[in-house]
């Protein structure tokens, strides 16, 4: 599999931490100090429309059109609505001339990584020629602003990647891994929106059931327990070391998480791709946005090796080592 084109877009509306200080009645500097985010962006429209912007740019970067794509994969954690899948709504926005199949891959913050692994498998197996992956998340909705650590870290955004056959270019997935530790299943969740806590099964204001809740400390402790052996196994499978990698592209979870990853695995500043301060945690769109930044800036060149790494609600771990 070869990455043919990438793109990332941000909503027009920017929201600084200074503005949040004033809005929440906090001393100046509080939000940025506690979250590590200088500015995040807020989308007032739909995730599908924002994702379509990223999709069109990624196709242009690949020198392709929608007619060249066999499948559209929606890889987001915050759909516009429970049904239909967001890929169908994205399909509607893009309006292809033929009924290109479209479906979702939802693994919360790991949605893009899981979709990329799936796309590589489908392409390498000869099932499809080219696949468009779109991650578009409106993390700004449904936040509980009484918990700044679980609200101030988030921002909205979208990113898209087009993949296809590598041919004789040398591009490939060297290793991919996923692991779920469900003792953390309820440390990061939105309870409403499904059948378990449907409106006719609960009492009170349903808006409370639709709000995002996170036990940040519990998530962090579980992640740091399981990530070291997971990363070691992934690099061993790829036959490489951290020092051999040109870039490490992590999910932009939080400033504490990014600092821990960089220090724990001995990743240099030159290797580490960190866009968190000016984007926040964009959920599923976070990792592909950081990947696009690495490619667009020239930090990731053809023939280079990269590690894509993240965690997501579940608690799940995911990683891909690839030759770009």
pLDDT at res. 144:
86
pLDDT at res. 301:
98
Condensed to tens digits (0 to 9), the pLDDT of residues 175-195 reads 999 999 999 999 999 888 888
Looking at the chain, the whole-number percentage of residues with pLDDT higher than 70 is 100
* Mean pLDDT in residue range 110-121: 98
Condensed to tens digits (0 to 9), the pLDDT of residues 211-268 reads 889 998 999 999 999 999 999 999 999 999 999 999 999 999 999 999 999 999 999 9
pLDDT at res. 318:
98
Question: Active-site residues: which are they?
Answer: 109, 251, 281
CATH class of 172-323: alpha beta
* Mean pLDDT in residue range 146-172: 95
The CA distance from 66 to 86, in Å, is: 17
Tell me which fold the domain 2-164 belongs to: Peroxisomal Thiolase; Chain A, domain 1 (3.40.47)
Band of residue 34 on the pLDDT scale cut at 50, 70, 90: very high
Band of residue 88 on the pLDDT scale cut at 50, 70, 90: very high
Model pTM above 0.75: yes
> What are the domain boundaries of the chain?
2-164, 172-323
Assess whether pLDDT exceeds 90 at residue 146: no
The CA distance from 65 to 98, in Å, is: 12
pLDDT at res. 145:
87
Range in 50-59, 116-125, 202-211, 285-294 the model is least confident about: 202-211
Assess whether pLDDT exceeds 90 at residue 210: no
Condensed to tens digits (0 to 9), the pLDDT of residues 65-75 reads 999 999 999 99
Instruction: Judge whether 2-164 and 172-323 match in fold.
Output: yes
């Amino acid at each position: 599999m070869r990455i043919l084109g990438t793109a990332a877009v941000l909503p027009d509306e920017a929201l600084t931490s200074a503005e949040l200080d004033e809005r929440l009645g906090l001393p100046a500097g509080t939000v940025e100090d506690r979250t590590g985010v200088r500015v995040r962006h807020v989308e007032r429209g739909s995730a599908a429309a924002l994702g379509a912007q990223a999709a069109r740019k990624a196709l242009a970067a690949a020198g392709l059109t929608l007619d060249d794509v066999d499948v559209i994969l929606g890889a987001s954690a915050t759909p516009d609505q429970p049904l239909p899948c967001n890929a169908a709504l994205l399909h509607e926005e893009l309006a292809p001339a033929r009924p290109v199949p479209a479906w979702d891959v939802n693994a919360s913050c790991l949605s893009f990584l899981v979709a990329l692994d799936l796309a590589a498998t489908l392409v390498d197996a000869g099932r499809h020629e080219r696949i468009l992956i779109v991650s578009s998340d409106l993390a700004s909705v449904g936040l509980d602003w009484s918990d700044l650590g679980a609200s101030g870290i988030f921002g909205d955004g979208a990113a898209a990647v087009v993949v296809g056959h590598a041919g004789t270019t040398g591009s490939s997935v060297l290793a991919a891994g996923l692991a779920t530790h469900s003792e953390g299943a309820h440390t990061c969740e939105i309870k409403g929106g499904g059948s378990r806590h449907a409106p006719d099964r609960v009492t009170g204001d349903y808006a409370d059931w639709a709000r995002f809740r996170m036990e940040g400390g519990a998530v962090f402790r579980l992640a740091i327990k399981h990530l070291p052996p997971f990363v070691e196994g992934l690099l061993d499978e790829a036959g490489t070391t951290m020092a051999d990698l040109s870039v490490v592209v992590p999910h932009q979870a939080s400033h504490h998480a990014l600092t821990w990853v960089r220090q724990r695995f001995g990743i240099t500043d030159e290797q580490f791709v960190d866009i968190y301060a000016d984007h926040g945690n964009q959920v599923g769109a976070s990792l592909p946005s950081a990947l696009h930044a690495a490619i667009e800036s020239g930090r990731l060149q053809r023939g280079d090796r990269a590690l894509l790494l993240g965690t997501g609600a579940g608690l799940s771990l995911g990683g891909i080592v690839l030759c770009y």
